[in-house]
Structure 1
Amino acid sequence: MVWLQRCTAEVDTVLARMRALGACWPEHDGVAVFNRVYLAVTEEIGRHLGDGRFVDGRAATTLDVRFAERYLAVAEEALGPTGGGSVPACWRPLVQLRRHPGIRPLQFALAGIHAHIGHDLALAVVDTCHALGCGPADLEDEFEQVGVVLVALEERIREEVMPGPDLLQVADPLTHLIGAWSLERAREAAWAAARALWALRGLPELAEEFTDRLDAAVGFANRLLLTPLPL
């Protein structure tokens, strides 16, 4: 089908941009850690575009691509070879602390996921609604199915960037730090924020203030997630 070929091409373009960025950064760079995680998630979503998992493949692709472009704009404009631009508050802790030796890979991965889901996802839903001429309710199935992929990959992600081969010990501070964060709660908050922003679309000043507050709140939480810990 023509739409499937177009959707696949759009996702392939996003994947190529992520791989190009990853090639520019050292393996242990904090943003590189998140980039690898996000690359795996996007590859997984791309594999499901034509297998019937998504009720509306075109809507799912539009949401996925708009979502990815939010991260890529930060990564390419501020962190790419010719970068130097400003960084949103939600991404600032990860960018500033990306080479800190006292921060573990799992913290970097979760901070990137939190910035992207806690802030970018809500804006991507609104972007998709404008692009498709629909409302958030029309994207709920696609939003939930993307969430299913994310939740299924979360455990694998934690295992891949865990500091050792065994489960974290109760006495390890990282156990308590990551226990305060939940992917499911972050997704629920993103959906509520997207609906609120859509309701405020006729009030641009209020919508901008809401977006700024959301950005700042996610940035504050990320600074806590990136607390340096003893090895």
Structure 2
Amino acid sequence: MPQSEQFTAPVETGVDALGAVATSVDDVLARMRALDAALPPLDGVAVFNRVYLAVTQEVGRRIDRGRFTDPQAAITLDVRFAERYLDAVDPASADRRAPACWRPLLQFRRHPGVRPLQFALSGINAHIGHDLALAVVDACRSLGCEPVELEDEFDRVGDLLVSLEERIREELMPGPDLLQIADPLTHLLGSWSLERARDATWTAARALWALRRLPDVAEEFTDRLDTAVGFAGRMMLTPL
């Protein structure tokens, strides 16, 4: 059995909320909480899910406080964004092949040589690098608007994610600060930047929108994006 498949484990089933169709931020939060309750704490998907749950809770609070210029656009983008992740890891979809960007995390989720920070950032890489671009297109179709009309909401969600990245690294990076510079994990993940990934995602979203009347080209572009993000995620999960 290839090493990448050796530590794959099925997710527990039987949580009705996991398969629900999300129509609001509260629906998304319910699915994430159900997933959190169903998974062992050290499972790689569980590690990412806790991070994403905190982000989504903060997005919901900011929407309630009027921090978004267009609350409906923010809700639509947030829900479409979350649905892509939840559909990829939902136990009900286990018989379907997950997008390439999520396969490394699903395959290595129980690997004892992969650290929690690697799980968290690999999930963020998949979700930002691939899912967010497609979610922008999904939201534009739902709202009948152009990507530029969602740029403010995109930037505000992106700013929140970037602000959390440093906290995630600090909380999940093992060992005393003086030893971190020598830790292989520092070097493995030091070349990846959420901010750069977000910038690339906005470009990809605009390109996909421009290609919407060329479905064959759009499909090829999406497949290449998925593969590239998956390759980066696999490198991030190198056992240490």
Regarding TM over 0.5, the answer is: yes
Q: Equivalent residue for 1:10?
A: 24
Q: Which residue of 178, 185, 205 maps to 2:196?
A: 185
Q: Which segments of 5 or more consecutive residues in structure 2 lack a partner in the other structure?
A: 1-22
The 3 A distance-change label for structure 1 pair 222 and 113 is same
Q: Which amino acid aligns with 2:172?
A: V
TM-score normalised by L of structure 2: 0.87
Identity %: 72
**Coordinate RMSD, CA, aligned:** 1.4
Q: Which residue of 61, 81, 96 maps to 2:75?
A: 61
The 3 A distance-change label for structure 1 pair 212 and 82 is closer
Q: Equivalent residue for 2:221?
A: 210
In the alignment, structure 1 residue 224 sits paired with structure 2 residue 224: no
Q: Note if contact 1:24-1:81 (Cα within 8 Å) is conserved in structure 2.
A: no
User: How far off its partner does 1:52 sit?
Assistant: 2.4
Q: Which amino acid aligns with 1:58?
A: Q
Q: Equivalent residue for 2:144?
A: 133
Q: Equivalent residue for 1:153?
A: 164
Q: Equivalent residue for 1:116?
A: 127
TM-score normalised by L of structure 1: 0.91
- Equivalent position SS for 2:109: coil
Q: Equivalent residue for 1:4?
A: none
Q: Which amino acid aligns with 2:62?
A: H
User: How far off its partner does 1:40 sit?
Assistant: 0.4
Q: Note if contact 1:105-1:163 (Cα within 8 Å) is conserved in structure 2.
A: no
The 3 A distance-change label for structure 1 pair 165 and 60 is farther
Q: Which runs of 4+ in 1 moved over 6 A?
A: none
Q: Equivalent residue for 1:28?
A: 42
Query: How far apart in 1 are the matches of 2:93 and 2:87?
Result: 13
Q: What is the aligned residue count?
A: 218
- Equivalent position SS for 1:49: helix
Query: How far apart in 1 are the matches of 2:89 and 2:63?
Result: 25
The 3 A distance-change label for structure 1 pair 82 and 172 is same
The 3 A distance-change label for structure 1 pair 167 and 48 is farther
